Amino acid sequence: MHLQFRKFYTKVLLDNVNKGLIPFLEHVAEQGSVVDLQDSFKRHIYDAACTIATGYNPSNTLSVNFLENPFIGGIGDAGEAMLSRHILPGRLWKLQRWLGIGNEKKLGVSKETVHQVVTKYIYVGQERRTE
């Protein structure tokens, strides 16, 4: 791995932990709130991955409000569809894909959602780099 990239992703991860995850968890602890830690860590990793991949940090995904994030939902739906492809007989999931129903329909919607979000983040990241 290139040394500059290693330094970059290490900085991104540390910044996201220090400026995002820790303040979030401290706030939750102070409020005595109950949160889904799996969802919290998913959002933290999402912010870091977006920053590393595109140079843009959405940074609003890990918040007390837990705003809906279409990308995270799309990735979850895509994962379910991929899992069902391994469980269901090939003819069945291919029929679902052809009919546009079930998990295959979710997969189609999630692919479009992921494409839109990634395109937006890449565009925003490019704009910030040119400023």
CA Rg value for the chain = 18
Whether the model clears a pTM of 0.75, i.e. scores above it, the answer is no
Could you give the CA distance from residue 50 to residue 16 in angstroms, rounded to a whole number?
Answer: 11
Could you give the CA distance from residue 55 to residue 8 in angstroms, rounded to a whole number?
Answer: 10
Q: How many CA atoms lie within 13 A of 46 on its CB side?
A: 25
CA 26 to the chain's CA centroid: 22
Could you give the CA distance from residue 91 to residue 97 in angstroms, rounded to a whole number?
Answer: 10
Query: How many secondary structure helices (H) and strands (E) does the chain include?
Result: 6, 0
Unique residue bearing structure tokens 């400026």: 19
| pLDDT one digit per residue (tens) for the chain, 131 residues | 688 888 988 998 898 888 888 888 998 899 888 888 888 888 888 888 878 877 777 666 776 666 667 777 777 788 888 888 899 899 998 999 999 998 899 888 888 888 887 787 777 666 665 66
